[in-house]
Structure 1
């Protein structure tokens, strides 16, 4: 059976800005969302206006920004907080201050932002930002944990770094690209944590097979697809273990990283983590061969062999297929040119995969290094789903959309 995924229609995001220096970062969040086709509305608290103006955010969102003055003006046909609460598909509060956190934790509402949150039913994404000592206060952490017991609320981890108070420590707000990725995830899932309680093991990036300290056989994989898979799984509530080759990106907070270099190292890491996993996604571009010999010193150019002797690399996916248990799902990737379906079907069967993702790497904006991707998903029941060009994060979610029902159908005896 063959089908095609239809991209979701435009979404509506309401951003609440708290009073903190990190408010300046919200400008980039709003700009990125608007450019991606998301409708954006913004509420500023009174203290937020000490750091950033309503005019700035109105210009970036192409819509007037709301303040507490808007709340109390009788110019709306219905109460403004009711209209905004019903309008939003998602509410984002960034930066979330200790003051607003305390109000939300105890259901208090004394301004437009907090009234709108209580008058809504959509998911709420929280991006806290404050001084390290403030963030680590027992009362603040108690409020944070209390608020997160409500499944509407999705909390982002604070980063550590140099704060505006010159303190180095926790409390730094997540960066705009990270916030936007989480927003995109929640718009796709509607806040559903359908991988909660599951462990997802992912491999990402290319491997490097060295024949001396500075030269290696490799491939152009950047690991962006594996990174997107890790983000999507984490946003859906999973515990994520990411085994990755050399990469230029940082592993997201909340993901367990296992850095490796060679195919042998990746195989060992994947096999060690396999017993913990419910879902295994092998998205890494692993070498097929490696140099037969290794020199511990750099070889002079004149000493390089005209024909480099090669040895095969162990097939990690096939080995995982042999060892996986009935309650585990194994997903592989097949980067192909030309006919992508025939070799993918063969690989699906031969390597005992549950699902395979066939990527046409000879198409524009797909494959290695691109922020976009397109693919055909095939499963062992014969289902075939075409994914048109989309972001790699969206593709990761489409893959988990297919995976979750299969997981739910597995009965552990």
Structure 2
């Protein structure tokens, strides 16, 4: 999903046990076509070797030893700072955080940061007590007031010190998604101060405790929409059906099961939202009768009586205010434009995403998607096959730009 004009990333590795996770990050970046350069602080080398990261990045890894040797035609930190489209520091230690906050530069990594103008992504990792220190939190919040810096908060769990609490570094897939977003946007935060309400995944309408009417939706498109909005600075609420993925750090997630529950939550949060993206694949019908006990196979009806579930997006359209943007999805086979245009007008949407579910590596369950965007002013934009995260960014560019 990468912008070919923005694909040069410098990874700065701090001294912490989470440094081992950077190996996966560097490997996946290289495999996705990104040029990677790695800088290790002196303390980082106690946890992972320059040789390991050089092998994974297919390029020499840089250390302070190289920084202080006059072997370059130009200062190394200047070359790296000008070369990078994005800097990533993972793990970010309390020590490096303090240096960045006050503009200090006493090693290759911090000098490179000051010699660059590109966005900087920070992934902190430290013991819970260290992370929760007032001085550390003050530095963290102060640094993030600088528009260059983008931060992934820490997760909670079992730490290497056997403490259970906050301070775990974000996992490589989450950092990778943020990197991909920043390479797409160039670091812009055009959704700062905006509230984005997103529905995702399929709903399940149960006949009995074990049988339901549903669809193959995995919610991956809604997850990508949440990630993209978060990375662009939005306050994100994600209302999702049953899913097999982790909610991004910083996203408010509300799980639901059926259409009635989803409608209730979406309407509850509607009034505070600036943008509503209805990407969920909501069931159209549900069994008319529900059994609280599992029905024996012999008792299953030969003909299942059905009734329609609420049309959530239509109800939201009736309630939305003029300043709000309501986006719907139309998953189609065959001709995708005509049905989407009809849905756009009939349901009073601002934008609709027409995406084919009968194309290879697209639609339900896929990591990729393709679509045609249409808005109520008659504008259309065709998006060729790409990752769902890139699709999400294209949608925000179309709807909000």
User: Could you tell me the TM-score, scaled by structure 1's length?
Assistant: 0.96
**Structure 2: gaps spanning 5 or more residues:** none
Could you say which residue in structure 1 is the equivalent of 2:113? 117
Mapped partners of 2:155, 2:290: distance in 1: 40
The aligned runs of 1:245-394 (5 Å cut-off) are 245-394=241-390
Deviation at 1:8, TM superposition (A): 4.2
Contact 1:27–1:57 at 8 Å: present in 2 too?
A: yes
Q: Which of 148, 154, 158 does residue 158 from structure 1 map onto?
A: 154
Contact 1:156–1:174 at 8 Å: present in 2 too?
A: yes
- CA RMSD between the two structures: 1.1
State the aligned residue count. Answer: 401
Q: Could you list the runs of 4 or more consecutive aligned residues of structure 1 that deviate by over 6 angstroms after TM superposition?
A: none
Could you say which residue in structure 2 is the equivalent of 1:188? 184
Matched, 1:71 2:73: no
Could you say which residue in structure 2 is the equivalent of 1:215? 211
Matched, 1:101 2:102: no
Deviation at 1:9, TM superposition (A): 3.8
**Residues 342-382 of structure 1: per-residue CA shift (max 9 Å, x gap):** 10111111011111101111001100000011111111111
Matched, 1:395 2:391: yes
Could you say which residue in structure 2 is the equivalent of 1:237? 233
Deviation at 1:10, TM superposition (A): 5.3
Deviation at 1:7, TM superposition (A): 5.7
Contact 1:10–1:37 at 8 Å: present in 2 too?
A: no
Q: Which of 72, 78, 82 does residue 86 from structure 1 map onto?
A: 82
User: Could you tell me the TM-score, scaled by structure 2's length?
Assistant: 0.99
Deviation at 1:6, TM superposition (A): 11
**Structure 1: gaps spanning 5 or more residues:** 406-413
**Residues 17-60 of structure 1: per-residue CA shift (max 9 Å, x gap):** 00000000000000111111111000000110111110110111
**Residues 159-198 of structure 1: per-residue CA shift (max 9 Å, x gap):** 0111111111110000000000000011111111100010
Mapped partners of 2:248, 2:118: distance in 1: 25
Could you say which residue in structure 2 is the equivalent of 1:48? 44
Deviation at 1:76, TM superposition (A): 1.1
Mapped partners of 1:222, 1:186: distance in 2: 25
Could you say which residue in structure 1 is the equivalent of 2:11? 15
Mapped partners of 1:68, 1:30: distance in 2: 20
Could you say which residue in structure 1 is the equivalent of 2:141? 145
Mapped partners of 2:39, 2:382: distance in 1: 39
Range with greater deviation from structure 2 (196-205 or 137-146): 137-146
